[in-house]
Amino acid sequence: MKDSIYRSHILICTGTGCVSSGSKKIKHELQDELADKNLLDEIKIVETGCHGFCEKGPILVIYPEGVFYCQVKQEDVTEIVDEHLLKGRVVERLLFKEPSTEKSIPSYTDIDFYKKQHRIALSNCGKINPESIEEYIANNGYEAAGKALTEMTPEEIIEEVKSSGLRGRGGGGFPTGLKWQFASDSESDKKYVICNADEGDPGAFMDRSILEGDPHKIIEGMIIAGYAIGADEGYVYVRAEYPLAIERLKKAINDAEELGLLGTDIFGSGFNFELHIKKGAGAFVCGEETALMASIEGRRGMPNPRPPYPATKGLWGKPTNINNVETLANIPYIINEGSEMFSSIGTKNSKGTKVFALTGKIKNTGLVEVPMGTTLREVVFDIGGGLTEDKKYKAIQTGGPSGGCIPEDYLDLPIDYDSLIEVGAMMGSGGMVVMDESTCMVDVARFFLTFTQSESCGKCTPCREGTKRMLEILNRICEGEGKQGDIELLEELGEHIKETSLCGLGQTAPNPVLSTIQYFRNEYEAHIYDKKCPAGSCQELASAYKINFDTCVACGQCVKVCPVDAISKGDGKYYIIDEAVCISCGACEKKCPVDAISQG
Amino acid sequence: MEKVSLIIDDQKVEVEKGTSVLEAAKEVGIDVPYLCYHPDLTLHGACRVCVVEDLESNSLVASCVTPVTEGMKVSTTSMKARRARRRNVVLLLANHPNDCLGCDRNGSCELQDITHSLGIAREDVEEIAGQVREVPRDEVGPALKRDPNKCILCGRCVRVCEEVQGVSALQFSNRGFDSIVTTAFDLPQSEINCANCGQCATVCPVGAITEISEIKNVWNALEDDNIHVVAQAAPSIQATIGEEFGYEPGTVVTGKLVAALRKLGFDSVFSTEFTADLTILEEGSEFLKRITENKNLPHITSCCPGWVKYAEHNYPDLLNHLSSAKSPQQMFSALSKTYYAEKTNIDSEKIYTVSIMPCTAKKFEKEREEINASKSKDTDAVLTTRELARMIKEVGIQFKNLKDEDYDELMGKHTGAGTIFGTTGGVAEAAVRTVKEKVTGEELERLNLGFKGVNSAEVQIGDRVVKVAIANGLRNAEKLLDEVRANKSEYDFIEVMACPHGCVGGGGQPLPISEEKKVLRGQGLANTDEKSVVRKSHENPMIKKLYDDYLKEPNSELSHQLLHTTFKERAKN
């Protein structure tokens, strides 16, 4: 192998997002182009994990300048090579344009989307080749594991994690150090560590990004956790829908084994640790700890009552510690930099950073990692660049299907575990969906409840039967069939399900409904009493379309697209819509070349 | 054991650490209603009907799965707890057919009882009514039928089948509102590894799993003057049917059972205990032969059809260890249409045989292709104890006021050995009783192997020590059989009963069933044996007559033709 010193590195993102927008093809094109121009000895292409800005993918960063190119296409490759790499001129048109100023920003670090972020869990994502253990090690990888295993006692590690204030990033927010303490205190001949990578919240993909972009960090976190609690075996429970994450994790485990970082007598410490991957079939409920363990054991993924807690009786009846991917990704940092450094970030009871998946009606969507305590306004307007088409902000939904909707009044709320719960939402795994005035809040509640109802494992009565009845009520409200008393019944059922369900899924499933009733009760009332959907999104309540005879040119295009044959030729030179037949789908309005059709 | 004290409904309670709130409440006389909880099964915590309020945190907890903690204060009757309990029952009712009048479990349904005691009205259910589950029923049989639309997903059947029987024929399937309990690939019961033991039906709180009823067929036969209807009642029935008529569990009501059968119109009323004695002679001779030749040991009983089918699915390699003797039911039916027909001069084609069984698997056994010895089907109908009780109630017989009557003599005479066939350990004891005396002339002291899931004993027979083991509940049998398969079994004779406690705990017995009741029923049979004048099968005079007049000797050619059978391998799925 030839050792070269390269004058430039091209980092091309090969996370799932960028791969699906074509980054693999661009990489091959680049490879050919560099070969044609005899540049392969001078310029190195590095495949990296996700940058978090998937919407702008495929993303390509060229170092040492740190120039950030986005939405690159195959046909742009020649220009990048000729202009940037040969002539040293930045390709302006491929730079990111700040939505607020329309200015092109050449450098990665100057983009608003990245400026306010503080990356700990995602620190290596997009920077290193996730398939190279050497690159991970070169970035201080496995240093924390070395320190933990050779210089620290398990008790010291647990103390360190406790005083860091790290709380579970999977949703519950339970103090990680305390969890480790419980597992450590359980006496047993055998213990397990499990990494929960059953990321199930719709729209959330931070765990996938970490596994794809920095798999060794998770392995390192698990080694440290295993050593701390006295477990010599671990499982990563990852959904089978994440093939790339699984592939990279597999390679990472193999590489770590080859270097003796997994296996027996790691770092000569006498500590042994082996790691397996268990693929899950993608049931949302398997993110719940007891269901997850049942699934690893080969049983149906159904939660079991607690106690016994996994820390005392977990996988195959043995004490087990389960942490989420993002939680584990914080561990090497805490050990390397110390708990004080970690706890200097964040708020009183929520330390460190949190990764959010920012989506919805917002200009910059993607993965963002911000210090706890950052306000919603900063996330939405500074990092997210504000709402698309500069529409009016209505609410932000946090915490996925278990979370709630937060209205405008709380935009300055500092994001942390407790403040989110206080306003009826929750941290969850970090989903954030921004909604504008065209979003119907009853429909949002219905969307999330449809998800939780169909993902309920069906074991306990309130979750299985109760969410179904709530969903039926929401359906009839959206269809204009709501009755007096429906809101109160929803509230009563919602509280009941929260209070009596067996596991976290049922205990939080009503949250989207209850929080939208809390903040947007008037919208529910409008649906029930006025038979109107204020956001105009519930089709059954939308009014029929009408054709303006003066503008209509009788081209007949609307007739062709109407799915219910509601449009016919009038006696004059225009068309008419039969209001009784029209389902307000809006297809005719979109098709009309002269804007003659509008909702009446 | 460490004690924990807590307060339930203002009463101070002291219980062992690890006790659940539900059990602690029961100890001081407070019954918290429940549906998924079952004392013999693992904790499930699914129905959420047993919720109580933890007064410290004002939160609701499921009392069946919440262990007591020191100083805990719990209310089972607070408004909050009662409201939540009611709401969960209403939620179940909103997805349960309003079909109580036509349901097999009308009157013995736990959901019905709770609905009644909580005072839930139709309007409460209508308030939240919506879609109801509509999935196909499995009524193919031959033993059990399932109506998943009645199922409340308490999971008792799933647990009993897996934990107690090790069969796992039933599992949860689908998610959310579509969740159901079903078989693998939704196959009908007849096509799966189900042993037909009916334990699922005994734990089902509602009418989702019940036996396939043969009452109509039996009424038709009784009604027809051209048909001669012969009844045989299994040994355990006399100790269980009384419960259906208000007797304490374990009360033996043989005389009234016989009288009731005659009142129903059966032309002759016999006891399966007669052929239990016969089984001992046939199987005993077979066992003796095996011991002498040291072949196919351990010898394993085959009188339990649930066990036999389980063995055919799971231990096909051990089928040569099973006794080839038919079960008492099938021996009886075969003789009814041959020996009895000959003795009474009745055309065997006009004889209709009905057996009263504690068992659902017997309904399957009678359908086995290779089982028949007569020209037609040997057993025409099988009624469970519950079905017979229903018939008695239907015609308004006042069971308690009946005068005791005796079985008809020819095939009704029996011994204490035949009686204890109805409880676990009975077959082994009866067999050893006869074998020992035949070989050595010495009487056997009582073995009393029952009342444990697995048990064993050593019996000195001549110069040989015979090791006997019993297992009841198929999960328990698994342990003994795995040893046999691995050539590590030290036993000579193994008795297997599919149901816990044997036939007294059978799938066709009166409901509700409990561990305590099963023990009492078994004791009832043991007492009857002890009081019997004749206690050894080979001393049954009518059995002697049968051999003298008809069969000649045990394992004769005719015996083989009528009283022995074969087994076949079945798929493991």
Domain contains B101: no
In a shared domain, residues B207 and B219: no
Asked if A50 and A15 touch (Cβ cutoff 8 Å), the reply is yes
> What pTM was estimated for this model as a whole?
0.92
Query: Can you give the residue ranges of every domain in chain A?
Result: 8-115, 133-343, 353-436, 441-529, 543-599
Q: Report chain B's C-alpha Rg in angstroms.
A: 25
Task: Please identify which residue in the block is written with the tokens 């998800």.
Answer: A451
Which of B43, B95, B127 comes nearest A305 by C-beta?
B43
DSSP helix/strand/coil, B228: strand
Domain contains B295: yes
Chain A closest CA to B159's CA: distance in Å? 13
Contact criterion met (CB < 8 Å) for A458 and B43: no
Q: Would the pLDDT of B229 be above 50?
A: yes
CATH class of the structural domain A8-115: alpha beta
In a shared domain, residues B240 and B255: yes
Residue B65: closest C-alpha in chain A: A305
Question: For chain B, what percentages of helix, strand and coil (3-state, to nearest 5) are there?
Answer: 45, 15, 40
Cα–Cα distance between B226 and A438 in angstroms, integer?
A: 81
The one catalytic residue in B243, B286, B312, B429 is B286
Contact criterion met (CB < 8 Å) for B48 and A462: yes
Cα–Cα distance between B466 and B470 in angstroms, integer?
A: 13
Q: Would the pLDDT of B134 be above 50?
A: yes
Q: Which residues of B touch A454 (CB under 8 A)?
A: 175-177
Q: Which residues of B touch A500 (CB under 8 A)?
A: 48, 51, 60, 62, 84, 87-88
pLDDT confidence band for A171 (50 / 70 / 90):
confident
What single-letter DSSP state applies at residue B326?
P
- pLDDT tens, A24-37? 999 999 999 999 99
Which of B87, B155, B177 comes nearest A496 by C-beta?
B87
In a shared domain, residues B403 and B423: yes
In a shared domain, residues B449 and B530: yes
Q: Which residues of A touch B67 (CB under 8 A)?
A: 307
Q: Which residues of A touch B52 (CB under 8 A)?
A: none
CATH class of the structural domain A133-343: alpha beta
Cα–Cα distance between B524 and B458 in angstroms, integer?
A: 25
* Residue-number span of the structural domain to which B24 is assigned: 3-93
Domain contains B130: no
Contact criterion met (CB < 8 Å) for B130 and A468: yes
Total domains, chain B: 3
Q: Would the pLDDT of A282 be above 90?
A: no
In a shared domain, residues B465 and B333: yes
Domain contains B195: yes
Asked if B360 and B384 touch (Cβ cutoff 8 Å), the reply is yes
Cα–Cα distance between B98 and A552 in angstroms, integer?
A: 57
Q: Which residues of B touch A475 (CB under 8 A)?
A: none
CATH of residue B423: 3.40.50.1780
CATH of residue B205: 3.30.70.20
Asked if B125 and B94 touch (Cβ cutoff 8 Å), the reply is yes
Q: Which of B321, B341, B237, B324 is nearest to B279 (CA)?
A: B324
In a shared domain, residues B27 and B80: yes
Cα–Cα distance between A34 and B68 in angstroms, integer?
A: 72
Q: Under CATH, which number does the domain A353-436 receive?
A: 3.10.20.600
Asked if A275 and A237 touch (Cβ cutoff 8 Å), the reply is no
The mean predicted confidence, pLDDT, of chain B is: 95
Q: Quick one: average pLDDT of B247-258?
A: 97
How is domain A441-529 classified at the CATH fold level? de novo design (two linked rop proteins) (1.20.1440)
Q: Which residues of A touch B155 (CB under 8 A)?
A: 459
Cα–Cα distance between A197 and A206 in angstroms, integer?
A: 10
Cα–Cα distance between B353 and B269 in angstroms, integer?
A: 10
In a shared domain, residues B73 and B150: no
In a shared domain, residues B448 and B421: yes
The one catalytic residue in B323, B327, B333, B489 is B323
Contact criterion met (CB < 8 Å) for A460 and B48: yes
Higher pLDDT, residue B107 or A570: B107
pLDDT of res. A2: 52
Contact criterion met (CB < 8 Å) for B91 and A304: no
Which of B43, B49, B84 comes nearest A499 by C-beta?
B84
Q: Quick one: average pLDDT of B468-492?
A: 96
pLDDT of res. A99: 82
In a shared domain, residues B403 and B422: yes
In a shared domain, residues B61 and B80: yes
Domain contains B503: yes
Q: Would the pLDDT of A348 be above 90?
A: yes
In a shared domain, residues B412 and B551: yes
What totals of helices (H) and strands (E) does chain B contain, helices first?
21, 17
How is domain A543-599 classified at the CATH fold level? Alpha-Beta Plaits (3.30.70)
Q: Would the pLDDT of B434 be above 50?
A: yes
Residue type for position B305: P
Contact criterion met (CB < 8 Å) for A500 and B127: no
Is-catalytic flag, B303?
yes
Domain contains B352: yes
CA distances from A131 to A63, A324, A348 (A): 19, 21, 37
Residue B83: closest C-alpha in chain A: A496
DSSP helix/strand/coil, B173: strand
pLDDT of res. A1: 43
In a shared domain, residues B248 and B272: yes
Is-catalytic flag, B283?
yes
Asked if B11 and B74 touch (Cβ cutoff 8 Å), the reply is no
Mutate to test the interface with B, among A499, A505, A507 (most CBs of B within 10 A): A499
Q: Would the pLDDT of B5 be above 60?
A: yes
The one catalytic residue in B211, B243, B282, B283 is B283
Asked if B44 and B27 touch (Cβ cutoff 8 Å), the reply is no
Contact criterion met (CB < 8 Å) for A465 and B91: yes
The one catalytic residue in B503, B518, B536, B559 is B503
Q: Would the pLDDT of A4 be above 80?
A: no
Q: Would the pLDDT of A600 be above 90?
A: no
Token pair of B572 as six digits:
């493991």
Chain B closest CA to A295's CA: distance in Å? 14
Q: Quick one: average pLDDT of B229-243?
A: 98
* Domain end marker among B191, B211, B231: B211
What one-character-per-residue DSSP string does A480-532 give? T---TTHHHHHHHHHHHHHHH-SSHHHHHTTHHHHHHHHHHHHHHHHHHHS--
pLDDT confidence band for A451 (50 / 70 / 90):
very high
The one catalytic residue in B12, B370, B403, B445 is B370
CATH of residue B11: 3.10.20.740
Domain contains B249: yes
